[in-house]
Amino acid sequence: MSAILDLKLIDEADKYLDAEAQLTDFRMMGEKLFEVFGADEGRVSTQIRNLQQIAVSVRRLSDVEDFVKNQMGKKSGADSWRQVGEEILAHLARLRTEANHIATDEGQRLLLRAYLARGWVKAVVGAYLYAKASKEMSHA
Amino acid sequence: MLEIDIRIDTDLRDRAFHAVDAFVDAHGAPVSRTQIAGLLQIAFNEPDKISQFAGNQKERAEKRLIGMKEGDNKTRLENEVEFWKRVTSLSGAKGGAIPWSLAQECEKEMPAHLKNLVKPHPTDKSGREAYNRLIAEKERRARQWNRDHYPAFFRHFCAHYCYRMPPERGSQHASDR
C-alpha cells in the first residue's frame, strides 16, 4: 500500500477532470456558487475560500463532504449552502465513484479521491472567479 | 496513517451515515445542534467517556419525561432517549446481539495475546503481575485506538445528523435558543 499516487492514475484522473462533460459541470457549479454566494464587498466570498481551503488541504474526501454538510446543517446562515449543497455533494459522490473506477488499491483510491477533490475545487473556483470578474467588468 | 485514513474515508464514513439515516428515518431529529456540538466535543477531547456522556444525556431526558403528558414534546423526548441509546450502542456496546460498535472493532483489532484475558487466581502472584501488565497494555492500546477512531466516526456522524436536520427545526429546541 503506497502513500504516493501512481503517475498512471494521476494521468487517468487528469483526463477525467479535463473531459468536456466534467468541465461543463464544474463551470456551471462555479457560476452557481457565484449566483448564490456572490462576493464579499468585491472580494472572493469567505464561504468559497473556506471550501477551497478545505478541499486543497484534506487527506480525505469525506472531510470535504463533512464540511459541506456542516455548512448546510447550521441553524443560521445555512440558506445559501442549502441551495448549492446537494449539488456539491453529488459532484463529490461522482469523484468518489470515479476514483473507485480508476484505481483498485484502497490506498491509491484514498489518494486519488483527494487528488480529484483538489482538481474539482480548482476548476469550480476558477469558474466562480471568472463569473465574478465578468460581472465586475460589465459594471465597469 | 494511510490505513486509518482509508478506514475513516470509507468504512467509518459509511457506517456513520447509515446509522444517522436509519435513526432519523425512524425517529426524526430530536437532538439539538447544541447537544450535537457537545457530543462532538466529547468525541474529540475524551473519547473514552462517550458512553458515559450519552448515558447522562439519556437519564436527563428520561427524568424530564416523568409525569409528562402525551404530546409533541413527550414524543421528542422519547426519541431523544432513543438517540442517546443509539450513541451508546454505536460506541461502547459489546456482545453478540450488537451487530457493530466501535468498542467491538477495537477489541477485534487487539493483538492475540491481549484477547480473552483470564484473571489468575488471587494466590498466583506472578500470574497476577503478568495479567496486570497485559491489562495495562490493553488499556493503553484501547486509548490510542479510541483517539484515532472516535473523533473521526463522530465527525461524520454529527455532520450527517446536522445535514439531515430540517432547517427550521433548530428553533424548536430550547437549548438552541
SS3 annotation, chain A: CCCCCCHHHHHHHHHHHHCHHHHHHHHHHHHHHHHHHCEECCEECHHHHHHHHHHHHCCCHHHHHHHHHHHHCCCCCCHHHHHHHHHHHHHHHHHHHHHHHHCCCHHHHHHHHHHHHHHHHHHHHHHHHHHHHHHHHHHC
- The answer to whether A67 and A51 have CB atoms below 8 angstroms apart is yes
Mutation pick from A1, A59, A63, A116 vs chain B, by most beta carbons of B within 10 Å, is A63
Contacts of B13 in chain A (CB under 8 A): 62, 65
**Domain spans, chain A:** 7-139
B 149-168 near A (Cβ less than 8 A): 155-156, 159-165, 167
pLDDT in tens, B142-166: 999 999 999 999 999 999 999 999 8
Contacts of B34 in chain A (CB under 8 A): none
* Closest Cβ–Cβ partner in B8, B33, B167 for A60: B8
pLDDT in tens, A20-29: 999 999 999 9
| C-alpha–C-alpha distance, residues B36 and B53, integer Å | 12
Q: Number of C-alpha atoms within 13 angstroms, CB side, residue A109? A: 19
- The answer to whether A33 and A84 have CB atoms below 8 angstroms apart is yes
Of A112, A109, A106, A130, nearest in space to A11 by CA: A112
Rounded mean pLDDT, A20-45: 95
**Domain spans, chain B:** 2-170
| C-alpha–C-alpha distance, residues A133 and A99, integer Å | 33
Position B168 confidence tier, pLDDT thresholds 50, 70, 90: low
Pull the grid cell for residue B164: 439531515
Rounded mean pLDDT, A66-89: 94
* Closest Cβ–Cβ partner in B3, B9, B163 for A61: B9
A107 and B6 within 8 Å at the Cβ level: the answer is yes
Q: Give me the interface pTM, i.e. the ipTM.
A: 0.93
Name the percent of chain A lying above pLDDT 70. 98
Which chain B residue is nearest to residue A62, measuring alpha carbons? B9
Measured CB to CB, residues of chain A less than 8 Å from chain B are 1, 3, 59-62, 65-67, 69-70, 72-75, 78-79, 82, 85, 106-107, 109-110, 113
